[in-house]
Structure 1
């Protein structure tokens, strides 16, 4: 598959005009810090309301790591938010497949919605401690492998360092 649909941008994921924005959520689906908090704050109460319904109906124990579920995007310029829970990095255990699953399952959810453009953050590379270079390698490889049929799979990197690390993988 050609890599032309994998793109990078340095910026704010809440400002991306795409069909679906991926949220690096916590398992509660009820908001938090980092990307999750920013998406909930800027997207407004509609996102939280749908997340609460999902918790009540489908995920009473929370969304499992590596899975993905979609909600409205509320006031974001996207149509949907796809919430996925990334793994916490551990030196003693290889959780790479769980991280790849976040990207794969998010793309599957986006495909099911009919999304043509998807924007991802660098899942698990913030407070969850995943090494940025390895996270970028897994993210880009999974997007290349699983991104068929999308017009664009965009990685939105918050800072120059992250952008540079992802650019080395693209």
Structure 2
């Protein structure tokens, strides 16, 4: 049985096989968690992202790619592009769900045992935090029910109190 853990803190400090980056489609770093991961991980992450871009172009919303973790205490960074919130009528929920499912799929392909997720799309993309928490937890649980051969632990890493409280209340239900 996969264990789901909740932590309030900085995802760049989490020791795991893989951490997930809430990236933008350029894969070249940005603000929020994306910028923090690129800064803490160093140039190896950016170099790997540039190589992916040169091969496939930008990363589409809901999709995911995997790179080295550079200087981070993880083996991999899985970069996924969350949706920008537009009121919910532009398939935002489906796209956010795909972020989690596709990230977990890459994790399984790379024999990842522990994976840490940030709160995807809840920063500058303005996805409502309560809805994003529901999608994140439901998507992860759904994936694990059918693909639970390799992942031993999923860690939700909340940077702020509001997300931590939301995740805690959902996970305790």
Scaled by the length of structure 2, the TM-score of the pair is 0.93
Mapped partners of 1:50, 1:58: distance in 2 = 12
5 Å-filtered alignment, 1:75-154, equals 75-91=71-87, 93=89, 94-147=91-144, 148-149=148-149, 150-154=151-155
In the TM superposition, structure 1's runs of 4+ consecutive aligned residues that sit over 6 Å from their partners are none
Mapped partners of 2:169, 2:135: distance in 1 = 13
SS state at 2:20 partner:
strand
Mapped partners of 2:167, 2:123: distance in 1 = 14
Q: How many residues align?
A: 166
Match of residue 159 from structure 1: 160
Match of 1:8 among 6, 9, 12: 6
Match of residue 21 from structure 2: 23
Mapped partners of 1:169, 1:140: distance in 2 = 8
Query: Residue 6 of structure 1 contacts residue 143 of structure 1 at CA under 8 Å; is this kept in 2?
Result: no
Mapped partners of 1:168, 1:82: distance in 2 = 27
Mapped partners of 1:157, 1:10: distance in 2 = 5
Deviation at 1:92, TM superposition (A): 5.5
Runs of 5+ unmatched residues, structure 2: none
CA RMSD of aligned residues (A): 1.0
Deviation at 1:7, TM superposition (A): 1.2
Mapped partners of 1:110, 1:36: distance in 2 = 19
Match of residue 43 from structure 2: 45
Query: Residue 66 of structure 1 contacts residue 102 of structure 1 at CA under 8 Å; is this kept in 2?
Result: yes
Match of residue 63 from structure 2: 67
